Every structure is written in C-alpha cells, then in structure tokens.
A and B are shown apart, each in its own frame.
Chain A
C-alpha cells in the first residue's frame, strides 16, 4: 500500500466539528487535511430550486443520508440476543458529504444545563449518594460550563443564531428560558417569528404557570454577516429544512459558513469521496501514526500519516474506527471493564396531535426550528424527590413543515384509506398542530456499542452492533413528562386532542426519533472510566483526539450540537498548544 506525504493534522470526517476545528487551526496557518467519505452538496439539485423542494427524494428516500448498503448497524435490545442488521435505518440519519449532518439538521441550538458536565456530582449533592442507581454509569466530564462559555458564544456568532436570551450573567430576562445557563451576552440575532401553534401553546403554558420561550435557532431570522465575514440570507420559512440543505443560504451550516472559507485558505485541503477504513496504531509509542484511506472514485487504497489525527466522523464511525483499529479497551458489560463503546445513549420522544376547527396553522409556513418550548420539566430543573427516576424533557409546540407525504395529522379513528380518509386529511391538514417532548437518556450498563461477530460492511469490516433499549429510568421519565404534556394539551382549547403517542419501546429502528445518538468514546477524568480526557485526547494515544456527540457520557434533554460545537472550537485551540509541545494536554 502506498504512503502519501505526511500532514500536520488529519481530520477524519468532513462535517460540522471538522469544519470548526479546521477554522481554528488554519487561521494560524497550520496544515489541515480533511478526509470525507461523501461529495460536495453545495451546487447540486439538493441545494437549489426547484429540486431542493423534493420530499420524496431527499426526505423519504434519504438522498443526503449515509448509504446503508455500505455501512449500517446491527441491533439487539439485550445482551443475550442475536443482533440483526438494520437494512434501512429510519430512527437516526447520519449525514454524508462535506458538511455532514450539520447541513441537513434543523438548527435547534442549546447550551445544555449548567450542571450537565457535572451531572453525577450534581445529582449526588442534591439527592444523596444513593440517588444514582448502580446500573446508571453517569459521570462528570472533567470540564465546566464556564470553561466552554466563550466557545458557545463564538459558535453562536459564527452560526448567526436567532434567539431570546433568558439569563445574561445571572440576570433573568423576560421571554427567555429562566433555566438557561448564564450567558455572556445576547444571541446574535432576534428570535424567529412565533407561529399560530406557538401562540396557542404559549397561552396554555402561561395559564399553567410554566415558562415558554422561542427555540434558539441556526435558521437566520435576518440577513447576517458573521465574524469571519461569511453571510447568511434571511430564513424563508420554506418547510424543507431538516433532512434538506438550505437553498436560501439561511441555515447555519458548515457548507455555507465554514467550507467555502476554508477551501480558500492555503493550509487547508479536503479530499472528498475518501472513506477512512481504520487507523495505524503504535501501541508501544502510544501514537496513532496514519490513517488507512480508500479513494471511492479510483479504488486506490493508501496510508495517510499525520502528526495529529482527529476523529470527527459522528458517533458511530468514531466508535467503529477505534474498535476496529484496536485502540483502547472495548467495554464489557458483564465484567464492567473497558471503555470503548460504553454509555451509548439515545433520546426520549413522545407526542400528541391537536385539532382545531377554526384555527389556521398553515403547517407549510415553518422553519426547521419554529417551536415554542418549556424547560420546566427538563433534566433536573424540577425536584425529583420520590419520583423514582432521574432526568426530564422539554415540552414544545413544534411546527417544522407541512410536507405532505409524511407531515399530515388526522384524528384518532380515521380510516387509513377511502373517501373518509381523504375527508379527514382535507379537514385537518391546515387545522392541526402537535406537541412533543424531547428528553434525556442516561447511560445504562447494558446499553453499549461493540463489533458485530457476523455482519460486515462493504469494506469487509465488522458492523457496529448496538445493544440498546430504553430502560426503566427513561420509561418512567417519559411517562411523567408525557403526563405534563397531556395536561398542557388539554388546556390548548382544541376541538379534539389525540391520544398520547408514548415513547416507543422496545427501541425501534423503523421510526424516526432523533439523530441524537451519543457516547461510545466518552470523555472523563481518568483512563479507567473514559476513552478521551477532558481535552478530548485519547488516553492511549496522545496524538489522537475524538470529537462529537460520541464523547458525551450521557444525553441531556436537548439537541446535542451546542456543547459539541463548543468542544470542537476549544479542541482547535488546544491543538495549537499541542503542536507546539506534543504530549499530554
């Protein structure tokens, strides 16, 4: 196999985190090479009118998503079962192509709770040492919110986030989230418009004494120029946001704000259609020496050496690359030893539909983030004494699209075809809205990632095997917060309230839930309980770093991108230090 000329920093995966790290490094002239398995989406039908508005092509047939014929995952719910391959995944949708899932995301942006990085200590302090069950391996991250705050602030400015601050320097602000971690300043842009569904929800929440606020969004509420001089257009409320690439350059996304700028910088190189198959590891020297690449256009395989290697290939690929390359000890749930694959978590969801004869919701007038939310029952924002579970969920009135194949609501009991079915669709399409919950998912000793013993990907590597189910803690939490949601639903003044769409158990790969899968290469304070250090440095290879949701030891009741973007920007700065004096950070 050929070896190419060595590079200073090689980043595996060309998505959101890779773009942020490369921004920090190339600004200081450091050589960066990004290896991305997909192509460039910026000038094709997926990002221009009219073909961008094609629900069948991009959403239903998953035109921007990972090619499942090449790489998929196997699933089992319990360790004593045989896992089967998910042949067509619906539940979560990893991206492919320059910009990664950061192009086709919704753009909800959260900073997570101030206590999230110290969650274990937090729960123990508030509820005592016994509060955390033995089979729930929560752990502190080894970094504090205060350390990340400047990077949150930078990311929000880079991505032109639209929102209403609720807490600036400890001062609570009306209209924002009173549970918000303290911010150093306001959001760079005003919040998005509030839709009819949001107004209905807000009224009900005000009446019940909760604290509704508009979702902070990387959908640009106005025309915006970021600190790098990169520009966003105004959001068109086009209803083709999540699963789609923005045609109006209004969604804060790597392909608009990062890669065009990076590609004009001399020290930046990206190789598209380049599949990374594994890493070369020098166990004695505790170094990752090179990346094993396959050029998907020519079939050429080669080794790409580097001084620093960063894995930024999303949760599943990050974990797979470490397990397959035999770097770090695989987690074993029986002996409770090892770390790689540990603390794999997902996200809790439930919902309800509401129907109003006389209200016009116009579901197609929406952006990927138009929702009004309450944080009152999320995480540890409420007293858990005597509840029998930990964690919580946001409750929201969300309206992201009226795309007609998948985005129609009909009341319970509607026939599935025929004239009565048409009648119900005609009656309620514009006159219905939904509430949902999006909740935390804490680690469980029996939920983890490992290599499948039977099934292989198109490159001959074992598939990643998920052993995962929603356990008792998450089921109890979902039931509790769903009860609160149903209470709000009954206060919205609807003519018909649908029945609760409860958390689906066992975990089902056939239903889209969220793409918020976390863990597998978790961060922590010691090599004993984590794969990477608080600086995201691999404990067993000091020039190897891992970034993205795979480093989260738990999932909070929020979308993941805020903290992982902040961690990526900080990693960029850490790498500048590392390159000056390679060693443990």
Chain B
C-alpha cells in the first residue's frame, strides 16, 4: 500500500532524487497527464474526488493531481521530502505527497492566501513584541519560499546536503530542531516560519475538505472518525449519546454534494 517512489532508500544519493523530481515537475507542467490538468484546479479536484469514490475498496486512494502552480522544482523537492517525513506512509495513510498535502500547500500559496489577501500590508515594518504577530513585508507565498531557501542553507551547514537529500531520520531530526528554535536562520526566524506558517498549512492540508487538494480520499477524516457532511444531527445527538457514531466510518465531503 505504500508508494516508495517518493522515498529513496536511506542510503541512495539524494541528488539523483532531486533530478528526478525536477524532471517530474517540468514534465507535469507541460505534458497532458490526464484529466487532473485539463480542466483547471477546482474541476480537476472534483473529478479526482469522483474517481476516489469509485476506487475499489481496500486500495488506498492517492493524489492524481500533478503540476505545481507555485513551487519551482527545488521548492517542490523540499516540500515533498518534508511532507513525506511529517506524514510517512503507514497503516493510517499513504505518504504526504500521495495524500495531496503538497498540492494543497502549493494551491494555497498560489491562491489568495499566498498572495496575502485580507492581510494588513502597510509599513513601516518594525520588530517588537511577538504577540503583535509577524511583521514582514512578504506575502505568505514569498515568506514560505524564503524560508525554504534558508532552511536548505541551514541543512547544508549542518549536514552538508540539501534538506531533500537527508535520510528520513536526519530530515525528521532537522525539522524537530527547526520547530524548537535550534536552527538559526540568516535573516528569518526559522522556528517562527515553521511553527506559524508551515505547520498550520500542514494541519490544514491533512484535515481540510478534500475539495482543496489535500486529505485525498478523506483519509485523515476516516483516521479520526470525522463524518463530514451533511452534519444535520438533530436526531443523532440523542441516538448516539455516548455511543460510537456509525457515519464516522463513511465521511462525505463538499464535493460529494456539489
């Protein structure tokens, strides 16, 4: 059930993997890799969801959307490696890329969130109390990418390799250090970057409605037992008081009702 193509064996050369991913990203941007690319993001995702519903039971449903809108090949390599560490293929879910987590984050960064929609952007940009929130003249997309570049430089400093070339164990240790504020950035606070921007996007990618590209096959909803839609529970609240809720095994997404 796992898809080892995204995970090189620990001892393989990381650089080969990056070349492979670059090729994939380049190819998927120009080649017709199926319906997913044909009809624009939303339609593609809906189609994917319809297909997901039709998948024979027992076989995990995985992401079929290719072609990044925001990430370049190097950024894709970083993000894919990170997401496969944070979400390894296991008895709960396929790996992060197969769960659509990279597509989710890419689409968020390319869309209104990444472009800083509804966020106050006027200067001056001064540093002060953390409780006021980040004070950066960057959109979330620019910030995300600047952080990848810095984290990659830090990985090279610490391990002599780009992040995506690290073994999963090394990569995991590096992310733990990042999150704990033990990796100094040159210009950015990498802990803040990881905890306030990257981690929330990871959680959203796992648990948002699959409409947005992550949580493919509602695999994370099934994992925890969240039933999704339609959520009209006036009777359930009485009938299942203190008892398991059967609908939790068969969640439904917005796409199932659209």
Give residues in A with beta carbon < 8 Å to B.
49-51, 53-56, 60-62, 67-69, 72, 74-77, 81-89, 193, 195-196, 199, 234-240, 248, 359-360, 362, 364-366, 402, 404-405, 408, 416-419, 422-423, 425-426, 429-430, 454-456, 506-510
Q: Write out the residue numbers on chain B whose beta carbons fall within 8 Å of the beta carbon of A238.
A: 231-233
Contact yes or no, A81 B128, CB < 8 A: yes
Contacts of A509 in B (CB 8 A): 131-133
B131→A426 contact, CB < 8 A: no
Within 8 A of A (CB), among B39-55: none
Do residues B224 and A193 form an inter-chain contact, with CB atoms below 8 A?
A: no
B20 at the interface (CB under 8 A from A): no
A240 to B179, CA, bound (A): 31
B240–A429 contact, CB under 8 A? no
C-alpha spacing A418/B175, complex, angstroms = 11
Q: How many angstroms from the CA of A51 to the CA of B88 in the assembled complex?
A: 31
B13 within 8 A of A: no
Cβ of B128 and Cβ of A69 under 8 Å apart?
Answer: no
C-alpha gap A361/B236 in the complex (Å): 12
**Per-position 1/0 for B223-234, Cβ under 8 A of A:** 111111111111
Closest beta carbon of chain B to A45's beta carbon, Å = 10
30 contacts between A and B (CB under 8 A): A50-B254, A50-B256, A53-B209, A54-B254, A55-B207, A56-B209, A68-B118, A82-B128, A84-B126, A86-B133, A87-B133, A87-B134, A193-B241, A195-B241, A196-B242, A237-B237, A239-B231, A248-B232, A360-B243, A365-B245, A404-B224, A405-B203, A416-B199, A419-B90, A419-B92, A425-B224, A430-B248, A454-B124, A510-B130, A510-B131
Instruction: Report chain B residues within 8 Å CB of A87.
Output: 119-121, 133-135
Closest Cβ neighbor of A506 among chain B residues: B131
Map CB proximity to A onto B198-209 as digits: 1 under 8 Å, 0 otherwise.
010011100111
- In the bound complex, what is the Cα–Cα distance between A426 and B135 (angstroms)? 36
> In the complex, what distance in Å separates the CA atom of A404 from the CA atom of B253?
13
Closest 7 CB pairs of A and B: A50-B257, A429-B224, A417-B86, A404-B207, A84-B132, A508-B131, A237-B233
Cβ of B4 within 8 Å of any chain A Cβ, yes or no, is no
Q: Which residues of chain B are within 8 angstroms of A88 by Cβ–Cβ distance?
A: 118-120, 133
Using Cβ atoms and an 8 Å threshold, which residues of chain A touch B256?
A: 50
Q: Which residues of A contact B204 (CB under 8 A)?
A: 56, 60, 405
Least distance between B176 CB and chain A CB atoms (Å): 9
Contact A69 B92 (CB under 8 A): no
Of B133, B231, B245, which contacts A53 at CB under 8 A? B231
CA distance A55 to B229 in the complex (A): 11
B87 located at the interface, meaning its Cβ lies under 8 Å from any Cβ of chain A in the complex: yes
Does B31 have its Cβ within 8 Å of any Cβ on chain A?
A: no
Question: How far does the alpha carbon of A83 sit from the alpha carbon of B228 in the complex, in Å?
Answer: 42
What residues of chain A lie closer than 8 Å to B175, measured between beta carbons? 417
Q: Is the CB of B133 within 8 A of A55?
A: no
Once the chains are docked, how many angstroms separate the CA of A61 from the CA of B120?
A: 14
- Whether A193 lies near B226 (C-beta < 8 A) is no
Cβ of B5 under 8 Å from chain A: no
Taking CB atoms, residues of chain B closer than 8 Å to A67 are: 118
Q: Does B122 contact A (CB under 8 A)?
A: yes
The secondary-structure label for the interface of chain A is loop
A402 to B, closest residue via Cβ: B226
B212 on interface, CB distance cutoff 8 Å:
yes
How distant is B129 from chain A, measured CB to nearest CB, in Å?
6
Known: A56-B208, A236-B234. A362 touches B120 (CB 8 A): no
With A and B bound together, what is the CA distance between A307 and B191 in angstroms?
Answer: 56
Distance in angstroms between the alpha carbons of A88 and B229 in the assembled complex: 29
Give every chain B residue within 8 A of A239 (Cβ-Cβ).
Answer: 231, 233
Bound-state CA distance A55–B210 (Å) is 12
Closest-by-CB residue of A relative to B131 is: A508
Asked whether B233 lies within 8 Å of A365 as measured between CB atoms, the reply is yes
The verdict on B71 contacting chain A, using a C-beta distance below 8 Å, is no
Contact B120 A72 (CB under 8 A): yes
Set of chain A residues within 8 Å of B134, measured between Cβ atoms:
87
- The reply on B159 being an interface residue by CB < 8 A is no
B258 at the binding interface (Cβ < 8 Å): yes
Which of A53, A196, A235 sits near B254, CB closer than 8 Å?
A53
Chain B residues, CB < 8 A from A454: 124
Give Cα distance in the complex from A507 to B257, angstroms.
Answer: 41
Residue B75, interface by CB 8 Å: no
Report the minimum CB–CB distance from A417 to chain B (whole Å): 4
Cα A535 to Cα B232 in complex, Å, equals 43
A354 vs B257: C-alpha distance in the bound complex, in angstroms? 35
Q: Answer whether residue B172 sits at the interface, using C-beta atoms and an 8 A cutoff.
A: yes
Pick from A195, A429, A510: contact of B133, CB under 8 Å: A510
Contact status A237-B236, CB under 8 Å: yes
The complex places the Cα of A77 from the Cα of B129 at a distance, in Å, of: 9
Nearest B-chain residue to A408, judged by Cβ = B224
Residues on B with beta carbons closer than 8 Å to the beta carbon of A248: 232
Smallest distance from the beta carbon of B130 to chain A beta carbons, Å? 8
From B124, B223, B257, A425 is in contact (CB under 8 Å) with B223
Within the assembled complex, what's the spacing in Å between the Cα atoms of A136 and B166? Answer: 57
B244 within 8 A of A: yes
List of A residues within 8 angstroms of B238 by Cβ: 193
